[in-house]
A and B are shown apart, each in its own frame.
Chain A
């Protein structure tokens, strides 16, 4: 963790980048209190300042999440083209509500604001990959494929 922090000069302007790195590095994709304390110490800030800043940004999580973060777009262009159905399909397939993680720790389901691929709506992001032109059938294929790939590795 220290090595990761030391990649940046100890200046507050690098706070968000550090938080991103620490969260990405954590297999459960969240910011632990230890991580934030380390950042606070490195930057000479209080823990509450670091946590207070981080909590402003919706992409940071303070509770453990799954290995894969699914973010389904909840903005109007996707809604106009069936995102509600896709969301329902994901809830059904993964047996979770929005904000929850599957029992096997594989997936966390979240909603997000416009992903900027409205031309292929409805869309979602899983980790850094974007999937568009979604249909309930494609959801099946995508989730099953990810599960298989997880098992293989």
Chain B
């Protein structure tokens, strides 16, 4: 028997006077009679402090610190802790501060106002353990659907619930399922669109990583409802952990007879394959995604025919977003009425949003539709940090728009956001403050969409580039007021004539910023001013003569050697032509003498 515990009994003067010797003796007797003498070493030590808690003892290796120990406690300690490995709680030292925390029931406002339905299991179960999913009612909905409902009844429930596609378009899910069910074709497919590429969106990644079985179960229920036998989950290659967790979940589901042949011994068969993307944002568009699964370039295809009628390999295909799939089992379990009781009439249910940017609490939020932007950003998100002022929130990714302060009390639902010139999108919400330039933001999104354009149609391939050129001129101080009309005109044309949804919505960030932040555009053009001091060609750094102490730190750090001066003889001077606007001097100046200006010229 190897020794596994060291028990240190304090024999300092104070403890001795509190009869630690009797404690030690009692322990010794109990250890002996339990036959643990070889495993446990009893040691007397000098004063361990704190004396007012004596007699004290320390158990190693675990580090349990017992206080006010009496000889009568010895048998309990030996029995519970040494034999069974359960420390005796009532004798452990209690820190009053820690107790206060526990009693205080600390809440994080971030979670209080949320309503977790789709994300209920995320952060609660081990996503790699199917038993935990089953314990949390997993696969019960599938079981009920397969054994107690006819396929068309399943479709009816989803239709009655009013669930709308959560990928961004908000198309009624039940209706889509009905199209696929009614379509004729040899093999039908069920596809999960996991190509979440919107900057600022990570709802789908979290669900796939945190609760992959929910997606699998949703897809299987749909396959039963529409008569499909094969499924694909298309997921971005930038999400390796999600891919891994999905593979583990699929294998576990197959092993348990919940996927594959003869599911739950009902005679229904359905299986799913995972397919990876390869860095093409456009593959989030459903027809481009289908092309990609087929092994082609991810180029959008003409619709109609819609994928529901002719999709993957020319067959009827049901394609839904990850979050949409995550809703299915809850609707089957709880019913359409339950789903409708959450959210608004036109937008029932919850929606998952990803909060990022200039907001205190960044992360994933699930809220009932209808909550206002203000509540989401300020109550849940904690508002804008560092005492800065809120400026705008960008929703819907590159297809969306920027919403300014005056509309913060707008309820979040499909129609209301659309009216503002934004869209719900997949759920990305990027918060911006006074230090962000809205023209620069528009330029960013346009750089993104023009880069990701599949190239097939002229309006998107060429039109977006032309819009980008104009924005680059504006941000470099070479814009003209006529450019603004040109931007609107081009934008309208691209919206009307682009081949696919991505092209059609790509001008939105520009158009919405033009609408709500017209002043900033005008300032860039007419005053060569960027009020947020972001656009490098419109800002200048200069050293304030009165504050400069000529320490030379700025010149030493300047990567462009644009600062000249003599140590001890203020001021140092920045050569504006050589300056590359990196901002290093402002960062390193110990006296705050470097000032950033815009529009002064």
Contact = CB atoms under 8 A, between A and B. Distances in A.
Interface of A: 11-17, 19-20, 52-53, 56-60, 75-77, 79-81, 88, 112-121, 125, 128
Contacts of B278: 16, 19-20, 57-60
Contacts of A59: 237, 278-279
Nearest to A18: B295
Given A80-B357, A80-B430, A114-B198, A17 B280 contact: no
A58 B452 CA distance: 9
B197 interface: yes
A64 B198 CA distance: 29
B298 A80 contact: no
A109 B454 CA distance: 24
B295 A77 contact: no
Nearest to A71: B238
Contacts of B298: 56-57
Contacts of B364: 119
A79 B199 CA distance: 11
Given A113-B281, A119-B354, 10 more contacts: A12-B295, A16-B275, A57-B278, A58-B279, A76-B445, A80-B356, A114-B198, A118-B202, A120-B362, A125-B238
A7 B276 CA distance: 16
Nearest to A129: B240
B238 A77 contact: no
Contacts of B294: 12-13
B199 to A, nearest CB: 4
A116 B445 CA distance: 16
B199 A77 contact: yes
A80 B358 contact: yes
Interface string B576-594: 0000001000000000000
18 contacts: A11-B295, A16-B276, A19-B278, A53-B295, A53-B297, A75-B444, A75-B448, A76-B357, A76-B430, A80-B358, A116-B239, A118-B199, A118-B200, A118-B354, A119-B355, A119-B356, A121-B356, A121-B362
Interface string B280-302: 11000000000011111111000
A19 B445 CA distance: 29
Interface in B196-229: 196-202, 205
Interface in B236-295: 236-240, 275-281, 292-295
Nearest to A20: B276
B197 A76 contact: no
A107 B196 CA distance: 27
Q: Of residues A12, A16, A17, A19, which shows the largest number of chain B Cβ atoms within 10 Å of its Cβ?
A: A16
Nearest to A53: B297
A120 to B, nearest CB: 8
Contacts of B202: 116-119
A56 B453 CA distance: 10
B484 interface: no
B12 to A, nearest CB: 44
A88 B536 CA distance: 15
B199 A75 contact: yes
A56 B237 CA distance: 15
A59 to B, nearest CB: 4
Nearest to A117: B202
B363 interface: yes
B432 interface: yes
B197 A114 contact: yes
A76 B362 CA distance: 14
B276 A17 contact: yes
B441 interface: yes
B295 A113 contact: no
B441 A113 contact: no
Given A52-B297, A53-B297, A80-B430, A112 B280 contact: no
Contacts of B512: none
Contacts of B363: 119
A20 B297 CA distance: 15
**Those 7 A-B pairs whose CB atoms lie nearest each other, nearest first:** A57-B278, A75-B199, A118-B356, A59-B279, A15-B295, A58-B279, A12-B295
B317 interface: no
A117 B236 CA distance: 13
Given A16-B275, A16-B278, A76 B394 contact: yes
B201 A80 contact: no
B582 A88 contact: yes
B321 interface: no
A17 B232 CA distance: 13
Contacts of A15: 295
B460 to A, nearest CB: 15
A76 B444 contact: yes
A16 to B, nearest CB: 6
Contacts of A115: 238
Given A12-B295, A14-B295, A118 B362 contact: yes
B436 interface: yes
Contacts of B297: 52-53, 56
Contacts of B355: 119
Nearest to A127: B240
A54 to B, nearest CB: 8
A56 B278 CA distance: 9
B80 to A, nearest CB: 42
Q: Of residues B196, B432, B444, which shows the largest number of chain A Cβ atoms within 10 Å of its Cβ?
A: B444
Interface string B169-212: 00000000000000000000000000011111110010000000
B435 to A, nearest CB: 9
A76 B441 contact: yes
B157 to A, nearest CB: 32
A80 B240 CA distance: 25
A16 B240 CA distance: 15
B198 to A, nearest CB: 7
A53 B295 CA distance: 8
B376 to A, nearest CB: 15
B441 A112 contact: no
Contacts of B432: 80
B280 A57 contact: yes
A17 B394 CA distance: 35
B200 A114 contact: yes
B287 to A, nearest CB: 15
A7 to B, nearest CB: 14
Nearest to B357: A80
